[in-house]
A and B are shown apart, each in its own frame.
Chain A
Amino acid sequence: MDIFMKEPAEAVSAGSAAAPSQADQKQEDEYLTIALTKGRLASQTMELLGRAGFYCEELGDKRSRKLVFVNEEQKLRFFLSKGPDVPTYVEYGAADIGVTGSDIIMEENRSVYEVLDLDFGKCRMCVAGPETARELLRHHEMIRVASKYPNIAKDYFYNRKHQTIDIIKLNGSVELGPMVELADVIVDIVETGSTLHENGLDVLEEVCPISARMIVNQVSMTMKAGRIRDFISRVRDAVNA
């Protein structure tokens, strides 16, 4: 008879194979991670943050191929992502703070704290279509709606207009919908309305105004309360200045 002791390690690291790293833990505490929306919104955001006294030189370097940009001095980390992913990063705590359009925040409907209206990236969420479609919006008739924003469209027609609709999700050039008779109307963001006019469409109803918003992860709001609240109030002062 052989007796073997099967000895599991005295204490098993809860992490995968990696040894517990003090550096990682520190990083979690020390840095504020900010998710920006790629493109014009990112430069407008950085311009605003600059006025609030926060900056990141690395981010301005066009030749850089980095994905994460760090300001060691102020302990800030930035990364760029597609707009609809910003609320996702923030919800899961991959970023403490995010900046993106309120259209995206409404559409994604993530549980994040929406704390500041940044007062740029302004446009309107509208129902648009040919003038002949106006009549269809007056009654509770069943109509077809094409949109990049199915959740916003659904909420507007079901809960505010109490109208039953068929939603067709499109991923771009939504204006085509009514033109090729795929849909009666569209729900989309409108900045100047010139694209609509060129294609014979008009704004028929306004759903809500849109602007860039700052969102915050709910855990960060409590765990990094001091830094986050200071960050918010400095940015808010910059917006109001």
Chain B
Amino acid sequence: MTDKNVNIYQELLHTPEGVRDYYGEENARKQHVSQAVLSRMHLFGYQDLQTPTFEFFDVFSREIGTTPSRDLYKFFDNDGNTLCLRSDFTPSVARCAAKYFMEEKRPIRFCYQGSAFSNTSNLQGKLRESTQMGVELINDPSVYADAEMIALLIECLQQAGLSRFQISIGNVEYFKGACQAFGLDHETEMTLRDYISGKNFFAAEDLLKNLGLNREQRDQFLRITDFMDDKNALEAVREVTGNERSREAISRLIDLYNVIEAYGYGEYVSFDLTLLSKYHYYTGVIFKGYTYGTGEAVATGGRYDNLLLHFGKEAAAIGFMIQIDAVMEAIQRQRIRIPLTARIVEIRYTAQNYQESLKKAIQLRREGIRCVLIPEEDKEGK
């Protein structure tokens, strides 16, 4: 091999920015966590679903309200169709559910895992390909479905090994009720939603000030210091909320809290009425999971009762997605130990005893014990 070739090979060694290799122990831990989470999803009766890595661009279009177009990886097929790598599983799952379960009226439960891709240029140290796992519960508009999501998310995070986390819950209807009450037009509502979902409360306040809303009215949108971890606090806010739609949104959260209590998970949840998502398809209850050791939410989810309508099926739906890479980061920072029990038995063989060694290996594998055959090193150290 010439020196020149060595250089070429070395240039090929590192990956492009935003993607990475997983190997060895780190990979084993990630697989372990994924398996633990997945089996909990199965325990709740969710069935595996695999959708394609890329779809027609329209599945992720602006009308759907998912990732902005500029953050999608887009390309063309031979017929000139625009395709894109999925940046979010929910639109794919919604499309799939509409396609195969058009007439189904009973609840449908799906779970999925895989890579999602986001072409954000200024990620600065964040992954462009990330592993996501999630569930979607279609055809169930009830508060029990909402609570099942929250409870399942809590159990999934526990299964992953986390113990100190919080699920922050909001309701998009609260925001919509306030917009309606103050007669904001669609465009203003969208701008305001972007500001509030980005927690840019000053831009939001300026916008509302320019619309002529007084302090009290503005506070309806910007309850940033209200922290509510039980239903008494929610009831107190409902008392002072001016419009019916927003009050109903709070009532839904109170009902939800009652069901979560029945699961015994009251301590894990708190409420935040300013919680909105950058995904516009969310319609009702919306939530994010937070833990120490990672600067962003490890899980996000919510109700999207209108999304399936884009694919021709009228169905209520709710789901959540766990960012496995963020969970792994949190596990590492919190120094949580993950039991790795994968013992591998090594069987050394020579040309003379290969038959015997092979027999032993076959027997061990039949018993479910991991083993490898390794050639005995030559005595002369070849």
Binding site for B on A (CB under 8 A): 1-15, 18, 20-21, 24-25, 28-29, 88, 91-94, 102, 109, 111-115, 117, 213, 217-219, 222-223, 225-226, 229, 232-233, 236
Contacts and interface: CB of A to CB of B under 8 A. Distances in A.
Interface in B327-347: 331-332, 334-347
B202 interface: yes
Interface stretch (B138-146, B151-159, B287-295): B287-295
Contacts of A222: 166, 168, 270, 272, 288, 290
A43 to B, nearest CB: 23
A6 B345 CA distance: 6
Contacts of A13: 335, 337
Pick the most buried of B29, B293, B356: most chain A CB atoms within 10 A of its CB: B293
Nearest to B332: A14
Contacts of B353: 1
Contacts, number: 124
B51 interface: no
A25 B353 CA distance: 53
Interface in B301-359: 331-332, 334-349, 353, 356-357
Contact of A218 (B165, B229, B296, B338): B296
A155 to B, nearest CB: 11
Nearest to B370: A6
B42 to A, nearest CB: 24
Contact of B340 (A11, A94, A226): A11
B339 A225 contact: no
Contacts of B346: 3-6
A1 B227 CA distance: 67
Contact of B349 (A1, A4, A28, A94): A1
A21 B227 contact: no
Interface stretch (B128-136, B193-201, B243-251, B259-267): B193-201
A78 B224 CA distance: 24
B337 A20 contact: yes
Pick the most buried of B29, B201, B349: most chain A CB atoms within 10 A of its CB: B201
A219 B25 contact: no
Closest 10 CB pairs of A and B: A93-B295, A113-B199, A20-B335, A92-B295, A15-B335, A2-B348, A4-B346, A222-B290, A219-B290, A11-B339
Contacts of A226: 227
Nearest to A15: B335
B376 interface: yes
Nearest to A5: B345
Contacts of B201: 113-115
Nearest to B200: A114
Contacts of B166: 222-223, 225
Given A2-B347, A213-B202, A223-B292, 18 more contacts: A2-B376, A8-B343, A10-B339, A10-B341, A11-B339, A12-B29, A12-B338, A14-B337, A15-B332, A28-B292, A93-B294, A102-B202, A109-B122, A113-B199, A114-B201, A222-B270, A225-B166, A236-B225
